[in-house]
């Protein structure tokens, strides 16, 4: 039960990454079909793409920043049997913040809303790491 409860938010976060990837593919394909791209300007970096493509590309790249710390934490927590109902609630709050962040990033890109979602998720993840570290450091030695 606890393994499933801990991994379910991970699966949703992974699914979000693929949703953003498919969105990136769609906006890149639309830009290619619209024409006007210079091959040499788009093969090495994003600067040659239209702003909407760069926006979604940045959103996709962002899925490999904070979420990596989340993945590592969940794996460690499962390995050391340090998950709890509270851990699961925090995990869902983090993933929810990432969904909101990605949605805002890939649509309106309203910086205030995007930052709010990012900051909330970062603070939740920080709390998860602090609680995990305390549980490990203050617990008796693992068998």
Does the pTM surpass 0.85? The reply is yes
Rounded Cα distance between 6 and 85, Å, is: 9
Q: Are 57 and 84 in contact (CB under 8 A)?
A: no
Looking at residue 142, what is its pLDDT? Answer: 56
DSSP for 53-68 reads: HHHHHHHHHHTTSHHH
Decide: residue 21, CB within 10 A, 0-12 exposed, 13-18 middle, 19+ buried: middle
Looking at residue 73, what is its pLDDT? Answer: 99
**Cβ neighbours of residue 62 under 8 Å, at least 6 residues apart?**
101, 102, 105
Give domain 2-138's CATH number out of 1.10.150.120, 1.20.120.550, 3.65.10.10, 1.10.240.10. Answer: 1.20.120.550
Looking at residue 6, what is its pLDDT? Answer: 95
Looking at residue 64, what is its pLDDT? Answer: 98
Looking at residue 140, what is its pLDDT? Answer: 77
Long-range contacts of 126-131 (CB under 8 A, 24+ apart): 127/90, 128/70, 128/73, 128/87, 128/90, 128/91, 128/94, 129/69, 129/73, 131/86, 131/87, 131/90
C-alpha distances (whole Å) from 87 to each of 6, 55, 100 are: 8, 32, 20
Looking at residue 141, what is its pLDDT? Answer: 65
Looking at residue 1, what is its pLDDT? Answer: 62
Residues of the chain with pLDDT under 70: 1, 141-143
């Amino acid at each position: 039960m606890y393994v499933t409860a801990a991994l379910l938010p991970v699966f949703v976060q992974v699914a979000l990454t693929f949703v953003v990837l498919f969105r990136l593919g769609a906006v890149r394909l639309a830009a290619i079909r619209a024409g006007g791209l210079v091959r040499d300007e788009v093969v090495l970096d994003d600067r040659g793409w239209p702003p909407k493509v760069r926006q979604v590309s940045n959103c996709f790249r962002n899925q490999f920043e904070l979420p990596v710390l989340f993945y590592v934490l969940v794996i460690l927590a499962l390995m050391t049997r340090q998950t709890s109902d509270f851990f699961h609630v925090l995990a869902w709050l983090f993933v929810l913040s990432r969904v909101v962040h990605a949605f805002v990033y890939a649509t309106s890109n309203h910086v205030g809303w995007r930052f709010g979602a990012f900051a909330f998720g970062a603070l939740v993840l920080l709390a998860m790491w602090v609680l995990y570290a305390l549980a490990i450091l203050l617990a008796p030695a693992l068998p």
